[in-house]
Amino acid sequence: MNQNREAVLITGASKRIGLALATECLAMGFSAVIHYRTSAEPAQTEFKEREDVFFLQQELCELPQRLIERAGELPVTLRGLINNASVFTEGNLADSDHFEQIISTNVTVPVKLAGCFAQKVTEGWIVNITDAHIEGINRRYQNYRISKKLLNDITLQMAHLFAPAIRVNAIAPGAILPAAQETHSEFQALTEKIPLKRSGSVDDLRRTLRFLVENEYVTGEIIRVDGGWHLGKV
């Protein structure tokens, strides 16, 4: 493997949205460094014949900076970081332990990874994966929404702090894939709340990622990919 081949590190990329983003990175000519927590499937099976895909297992809440260091030991040149790994569970501010857990994974880890990335990469880009549906009060997923709102603001702060060497943007998906605890009918019912009257697909996110990577004059942007869901009912 050419040591100079540019690579992207994608957290939580063994399945779902992370896997789709890793696939798009490969399509753009990057090597993909796929982080996973417990299982590398289905990504490991899908990419088993490829020499430009690497897998790193790590519990991110334990020294997340070590993940950047391990990626730097691979025979590639790290150019991009996608902070995709996230926890989506029920809980509100009445549960302080849950709040601390959500903030640790959804906010603190991306901050530490980005800081270490910016120290080690002379020129590159970061894309944070946030959420388009986080406005308003929602007691069921209050802590999750707070964490993603904070990550949105941190994206803007990072973009200013790390410029001009590192560009930082965010993708805020809407109804793309059903959550693990969500039935198909519940997911389909969301379309009535979306102005475009349909859910999105991972291909919509892939196209957005490509735009943010290839347009080198864009930084500090949060792009909602949600069919207008954030507009609410008019």
Q: Where are the domains of the chain?
A: 6-224
Per-residue model confidence (pLDDT) at position 2 = 46
| CA-based torsion, 68, 71, 77, 80: positive or negative | negative
Question: Distance between CA 222 and CA 47 in Å, rounded?
Answer: 30
Per-residue model confidence (pLDDT) at position 4 = 77
Q: What is the pTM of this model?
A: 0.95
Residues (pLDDT < 50) of the chain are 1-2, 234
| CA-based torsion, 103, 104, 106, 112: positive or negative | positive
**How many CB atoms neighbour CB 46 within 10 A?**
15
Per-residue model confidence (pLDDT) at position 233 = 57
C-alpha distances out from residue 2 to 24, 31, 81, 222, Å:
20, 10, 20, 33
Question: Distance between CA 146 and CA 94 in Å, rounded?
Answer: 13
Dmax (CA) for the chain in angstroms is 54
pLDDT digits (tens, 9 = 90+) for 47-84: 998 999 999 999 999 899 999 999 999 999 999 999 99
Per-residue model confidence (pLDDT) at position 192 = 87
Per-residue model confidence (pLDDT) at position 171 = 98
Answer CATH for 6-224 from 3.40.430.10, 3.40.50.720, 3.40.47.10, 3.40.50.300: 3.40.50.720
